[in-house]
Amino acid sequence: MLIHQDRLFPAEASTRKIAKALYEQVRTLPIVSPHGHTQAAWFAKNEPFPDPAKLFVQPDHYIYRMLYSQGISLEELEIGEPELLDARRVWRIFARHYYLFRGTPTRLWLDFAFQELFGLDQRLSEATADVYFDTISEQLRAPEFLPRVLYERFNLEVLATTDSPLDSLDDHKTIRESNWKARILPTFRPDPVVDPEFAGFSENIAKLAEKTREDASTWTGYLNALRKTRDRFRELGCTATDHGHPTARTANLSSAAAAELFYRVLAANADAQQQELFRAQMLTEMAQMSLEDGLVMQIHPGSARNHNRKLYEQYGRDVGADIPMPTNYVTALRPLLDQFGNERGLTIILFTLDESTYSRELAPLAGHYPCLRLGPPWWFHDSPEGMMRFRERVTETAGFYNMVGFNDDTRAFLSIPGRHDLARRVDCAFLAKLVAEHRLDEDEALEVAQDLAYRLVKQAYKL
Amino acid sequence: MLIHQDRLFPAEASTRKIAKALYEQVRTLPIVSPHGHTQAAWFAKNEPFPDPAKLFVQPDHYIYRMLYSQGISLEELEIGEPELLDARRVWRIFARHYYLFRGTPTRLWLDFAFQELFGLDQRLSEATADVYFDTISEQLRAPEFLPRVLYERFNLEVLATTDSPLDSLDDHKTIRESNWKARILPTFRPDPVVDPEFAGFSENIAKLAEKTREDASTWTGYLNALRKTRDRFRELGCTATDHGHPTARTANLSSAAAAELFYRVLAANADAQQQELFRAQMLTEMAQMSLEDGLVMQIHPGSARNHNRKLYEQYGRDVGADIPMPTNYVTALRPLLDQFGNERGLTIILFTLDESTYSRELAPLAGHYPCLRLGPPWWFHDSPEGMMRFRERVTETAGFYNMVGFNDDTRAFLSIPGRHDLARRVDCAFLAKLVAEHRLDEDEALEVAQDLAYRLVKQAYKL
Amino acid sequence: MLIHQDRLFPAEASTRKIAKALYEQVRTLPIVSPHGHTQAAWFAKNEPFPDPAKLFVQPDHYIYRMLYSQGISLEELEIGEPELLDARRVWRIFARHYYLFRGTPTRLWLDFAFQELFGLDQRLSEATADVYFDTISEQLRAPEFLPRVLYERFNLEVLATTDSPLDSLDDHKTIRESNWKARILPTFRPDPVVDPEFAGFSENIAKLAEKTREDASTWTGYLNALRKTRDRFRELGCTATDHGHPTARTANLSSAAAAELFYRVLAANADAQQQELFRAQMLTEMAQMSLEDGLVMQIHPGSARNHNRKLYEQYGRDVGADIPMPTNYVTALRPLLDQFGNERGLTIILFTLDESTYSRELAPLAGHYPCLRLGPPWWFHDSPEGMMRFRERVTETAGFYNMVGFNDDTRAFLSIPGRHDLARRVDCAFLAKLVAEHRLDEDEALEVAQDLAYRLVKQAYKL
């Protein structure tokens, strides 16, 4: 077997027993996935997923960044190619290097999918590469592996995508208009039209104007265009926005100063500091709109995007060369919090790639401000040890109820059950330790386990 | 039962057994509390404590910051009111939300007090709110709950308060002049007269001048006024000073430059940088005076005070909206250490809210400079996981003997036994792990447990 | 006994059993020591080591920094004296204060050497000081304690020293020219001639010019002199360079700008920023040369050297007052990585004293760039808890195969077996936890244990 029924539970027998008992009560709860990067098109079209390499290797920068770090070129892996020339060859390279993933969550997610979805039970390696390729390829053609069937089989209750304000959301409409009862929702991610450093920023705003029939060359028109787009998203069930800025900086400019800054960035006359200030101001504007329309804000700051210049020039964004940076929250968020920090009707979910902020800044902030909640461990930290560190550093100050449950944040649809299962197990392991050390009673731990797996996410994201 | 006799000990049986054996040897040692925020007036007047809400909820920002974070207003909790209009109503709100404290040290401290002091054994909740309120209210009126009786019942050997240089210390005098044999000592906390950003700074200095009959409008007179005030504190048993600056920055200006800076801040002509420089210089001046008069220095840097602007405008200082900031020590302390770092007659105890400095800066500094010692985990980090992180990150570089035992640092007198008990348990758990992994012999662990619980604090604070 | 056969293994029985089984398979593997500060002269001359104080106390700043922190002067310890006046007196001071090392790795390393090398089995203390002194002194005079015999007894396969470009490497030549089959290699550490703040920088460059017969007063000549010196090191088996800069900053100047900067620093006309920029540029130049000649680069940044001004003025460098600083990698390394980050023929091994960078910067960088590898926990973090934190924070993102095994980094030759033994035990403990929690299969863990103890270091350092 690839995966063990007691995986991720503490070895100590009495603690493991508690963890297992807790896990049994959350194992089959529906999956609520409020933030991720799956494609609505898969469910709109409901076509079979392609071959194993296209499915597992090509879209997953967790996988190919590791292979790349060990000297395998992106060319060999056919990254960026619309169609794979030789999927089996790519798969074999991956299989031969599967040992590189020892000790990583990627290994755990993959083994879960291999065994639970495809019934594989021998470890992936050079020797088993072809068995894997053939087994998975064959099953992918079967009707029970169509996207909609998998959605149901995964026991998904909600699945949110992440979408540009310029997206037509046609796939979302198609899903809604079909008879299918799934709940697949868009998320409003305005980076292309609020971040002056985003490729095509001013063209994007022109398109936004066109789509909304607003004069987005004025500050007021621009804000109205954003408001209208949020409404368009909300009509399709959207409950949240998402903001991927380099920092968590916010600003609180006067209307006049904000307008002037807008004209400067729109005219491409802004320097790096002014661009940063504009993003900062836009977070505060988004908070204002959220207060009006009820959308929950997610802030994902602190990634140095496209760190590898040569790869970026050749392949563009999102090829696995984003590196976390030290991130400040206590000063950065102050302008926004000065305005809206005490609003009970506003929810802002903070994420971080800088774990040193967990106990120093994030837990104290979320343990005080009514509008703040903490998102789960993100990206590089979405792992057993990373999750444990998060719980250990945050809970004692902010408690469990200023957290929002789990996000899978994945581009790999097939990893969703494995990712949620891993999170539930680690949470049960954490709670079991508290129970075993008499820091929490078992009946309370059970309630918390259910809250972390199911209730908190629905409440925080208004789902 | 609310608390279990094995709480906070590792679940693994052999390690737990060692932890229990160690704990048995430190459990009944007297409590030495060298730093905290209890009121001398309680012991001077020796009047009954008021009702449960006034006792537990109103003064404790650990409690109401959590309630506030979940949307309960400070008005509902009657924070800041001299007399509670409806103490039972406040208590019921707290009881209904007691589940928010799951996994926090506040929960452990409270359950300890509820069970050990008041004999309660059902969990606090909406259902038990009134039983609690009535039981506690009744007992508080009994003679065995008078402050002086509790002091003795708690097995306190020393209790230090924290006091402004402008305080008359009359309550301390009253205690001394009574026949009561307790050792309650003031601590010299000069922030109101050395921090130019402290409310009423120049008025405070004028008052200091008046009290000391020094001309505090001159640099020399100001320093003399501070010296005289330190002497006044020392006459009442004070052995330590305390400094709550935004940063750990120190300076080493010439006398002339320091004097000029003093005139500038006194005339309110100093900008933020100059105000910071003045605080920095004053730490070095305080070290000079400590070298002369033997007072131990405590430095508590790194808190962004009054982060929530609206609450600060409405309620003033200390309403739970202080947020830690990244804190530097290695550069910041250099000017002071250049002067006094090698003095064996000086003791400076460093605290932090930035755990990333434990292994990076604080342990290496304390593991080298003769004058430096490390204070225990502070504030947000005064928790089981926080204490364990401190021991794990500091001990391997600085050893146990550059630490100073435990501080309860509390405003809540009734939490003192529970806080010390928690610290002793966590230390025994840490030591038990070292013994179980054969990194320390059991006889040594026992000696260290006693040092951490009792001997080191007396030695470091000269008690 | 001083050391227990199960030391450093988890107490939980099933995990301990796995750890022991893994350890049994790596316990006797040869020691490869690719980075450290032992002296080639010991092996060239092969003379007996002197007395215990000279051997253990005087060269080891881990030991005397702790004693100094507790008020023992360097005079009392005769630090810096070429010959000890009273070695027994120094040893007795150390013995009396041996309890200070409880909980530190120094204690574990020393106890290992005391028991395994000298057969001592009573704890060092004031009472046993003389027994220790006499026992060790006597044995040091025996032939089986000569440096070359110890090298073989320690099962060393490779031992690298760290050497100035101005070093004649005569001792290395002597070793090579003897019939002795050991592999003792120099490491090229150019700080004296690339760091403008290094004492005697311009004189050092003049000496370099003389040694290489290059005109090092020109930028080209200077680079050629460095190239020639690298060649001289390589001829004696050197496979690596080492760079101990205050920061990890790199630069990517044009040739003309680099030359101009060189003339400025050589003329001592450079300010602190320009000196830093020169060091930054030189890291990139060194990477260029490494690409040409194949030497592996090690970067050891982030130490504030000689923090204690008075000790530095009296004793010079390296007396234990170096304190880690916050260190940035993600921005600092970008200029170098822009040039060479994607080169598969280049290996750069990164170290840190700032543990907050493990999961935030170092693991993501090493988990992406083909040229980057992560060195083991360094200096203050080379300890059981420090190693465990490293594995826990790095493995999940970078995997095991972007690491390079263990460095002992020691000046204390006799600590080498104990240090490697400790590292192997902690790695087995870490792996055992993964196995016990079903995150890794036991056969894989065994392979990884061997990789971490032996194969990865040989591969990364090209040994």
- Pairing of β A348-350 and β A323-324: unpaired
Distance in angstroms (rounded) separating the CA atoms of residues A391 and A382: 12
DSSP 3-state assignment of C332? Answer: coil
The pLDDT score that the predictor gives to residue C367 is: 98
C362 burial level (CB within 10 Å; 0-12, 13-18, 19+): buried
Domain B50-142 bears CATH identifier 3.30.2350.10: no
For A227-240, how does the pLDDT look when each residue is reduced to its tens digit (9 = 90+)? 999 999 999 999 99
C118 burial level (CB within 10 Å; 0-12, 13-18, 19+): middle
For A119-166, how does the pLDDT look when each residue is reduced to its tens digit (9 = 90+)? 999 999 999 999 999 999 999 999 999 999 999 999 999 999 999 999
Q: What is chain A's mean pLDDT, rounded? A: 97
Q: Pick from B2, B287, B260: which is nearest to B116 by CA?
A: B2
For A316-371, how does the pLDDT look when each residue is reduced to its tens digit (9 = 90+)? 888 889 999 999 999 999 999 999 999 999 999 999 999 999 999 999 999 999 99
Length of chain A: 463
CB-CB under 8 Å, A71 with C370:
yes
CB-CB under 8 Å, B381 with A436:
no
The pLDDT score that the predictor gives to residue A237 is: 98
Distance in angstroms (rounded) separating the CA atoms of residues C165 and C227: 11
Report whether C254 contacts C246 (CB < 8 A).
no
**C:346-405 residues touching chain B, CB 8 A cutoff:** 353-356, 380-381, 383-386
CB-CB under 8 Å, C365 with A323:
yes
Question: Could you tell me which chain A residue has the CA closest to the CA of B3?
Answer: A438
Q: Is residue C250's pLDDT more than 90?
A: yes
Residues of A in contact with C337 (CB under 8 A): 307-309
Min distance B304 CA to chain C CA atoms (Å): 20
Q: Does C313 contact A at CB distance below 8 Å?
A: no
> Does C49-143 match C147-460 in CATH topology?
no
The pLDDT score that the predictor gives to residue A85 is: 94
For A192-210, how does the pLDDT look when each residue is reduced to its tens digit (9 = 90+)? 999 999 999 999 999 999 9
CATH class, domain B147-460, is alpha beta
The pLDDT score that the predictor gives to residue C414 is: 95
The C-alpha R_g of chain A, in whole angstroms, comes to 22
Min distance B403 CA to chain A CA atoms (Å): 21
Report whether C171 contacts C44 (CB < 8 A).
yes
Q: Does A66 contact C at CB distance below 8 Å?
A: yes
Which H helix or E strand runs over B425? helix B416-436
Q: Is residue C71's pLDDT more than 90?
A: yes
The pLDDT score that the predictor gives to residue B77 is: 96
Q: Tell me the torsion sign for CA atoms B211, B214, B216, B222.
A: negative
Question: Could you tell me which chain C residue has the CA closest to the CA of A356?
Answer: C356
CB-CB under 8 Å, C328 with A103:
no
Distance in angstroms (rounded) separating the CA atoms of residues C406 and C428: 13
Q: Would you list the DSSP string of A237-288?
A: T--EEEE--SS-------HHHHHHHHHHHHTT---HHHHHHHHHHHHHHHHH
CATH class, domain C49-143, is mainly alpha
Among A103, A123, A304, select the one facing C434 at the smallest CB separation: A103
Q: What are phi and psi for residue A32, nearest 5 degrees?
A: -110, 120
The pLDDT score that the predictor gives to residue B318 is: 81
Q: Does A439 contact B at CB distance below 8 Å?
A: yes
For chain B, the distance separating the N- and C-terminal CA atoms, rounded to the nearest angstrom, is 36
Among C11, C383, C384, select the one facing B15 at the smallest CB separation: C11
- A neighbour chains, 3+ CB pairs within 8 Å: B, C
Min distance C139 CA to chain A CA atoms (Å): 45
Distance in angstroms (rounded) separating the CA atoms of residues C64 and C104: 13
For A253-287, how does the pLDDT look when each residue is reduced to its tens digit (9 = 90+)? 999 999 999 999 999 999 999 999 999 999 999 99
Residues of A in contact with B325 (CB under 8 A): 330-331, 360-361
Distance in angstroms (rounded) separating the CA atoms of residues C459 and C446: 18
The pLDDT score that the predictor gives to residue C270 is: 97
Distance in angstroms (rounded) separating the CA atoms of residues A102 and C448: 9
Q: Is residue C320's pLDDT more than 90?
A: no
Question: Could you tell me which chain A residue has the CA closest to the CA of B62?
Answer: A397
Longest dimension (CA), chain C: 67
**B:13-42 residues touching chain C, CB 8 A cutoff:** 14-15
The pLDDT score that the predictor gives to residue B316 is: 87
In chain B, domain spans: 50-142, 147-460
What lies within 8 Å, CB to CB, of B397 at 6+ separation is: B359, B363, B364, B367, C104, C380, C383
Q: What is chain C's mean pLDDT, rounded? A: 97
Q: Is residue C40's pLDDT more than 90?
A: yes
Q: Tell me the torsion sign for CA atoms A167, A168, A170, A173.
A: positive
Q: Is residue C317's pLDDT more than 90?
A: no
The pLDDT score that the predictor gives to residue A59 is: 87
The pLDDT score that the predictor gives to residue C356 is: 98
CB-CB under 8 Å, B69 with A402:
yes
Distance in angstroms (rounded) separating the CA atoms of residues A376 and A391: 9
CA B38 vs CA A272, B105, B414, C295, C336: distances in Å: 50, 19, 10, 63, 56
Mean pLDDT of the C354-362 span: 98
DSSP 3-state assignment of A440? Answer: coil
pLDDT < 50 stretches in chain B: none
Beta strands (DSSP E) in B21-145 are: 31-33
Q: Is residue A407's pLDDT more than 90?
A: yes
Min distance B69 CA to chain A CA atoms (Å): 4
Confidence band of A248 (pLDDT split at 50, 70, 90): very high
The pLDDT score that the predictor gives to residue A390 is: 98
Share of chain C above pLDDT 90, in %: 97
For A53-66, how does the pLDDT look when each residue is reduced to its tens digit (9 = 90+)? 999 999 899 999 99
For B163-222, how does the pLDDT look when each residue is reduced to its tens digit (9 = 90+)? 999 999 999 999 999 989 999 999 999 999 999 999 999 999 999 999 999 999 999 999
The pLDDT score that the predictor gives to residue A34 is: 98
The pLDDT score that the predictor gives to residue A320 is: 80
The pLDDT score that the predictor gives to residue C73 is: 96
Q: Would you list the DSSP string of B152-212?
A: HHTTEEEEE--B-TT---HHHHHHHHSS----EE--B--HHHH-TTSTTHHHHHHHHHHHH
User: Which residue(s) pair with A32 in the sheet?
Assistant: A158
CA dihedral of C48, C53, C59, C62, whole degrees rounded to 10: 140
CA B168 vs CA B101, B171, B186, B216, C197: distances in Å: 38, 8, 11, 18, 53
User: Which residue(s) pair with C324 in the sheet?
Assistant: C303
The pLDDT score that the predictor gives to residue A132 is: 98
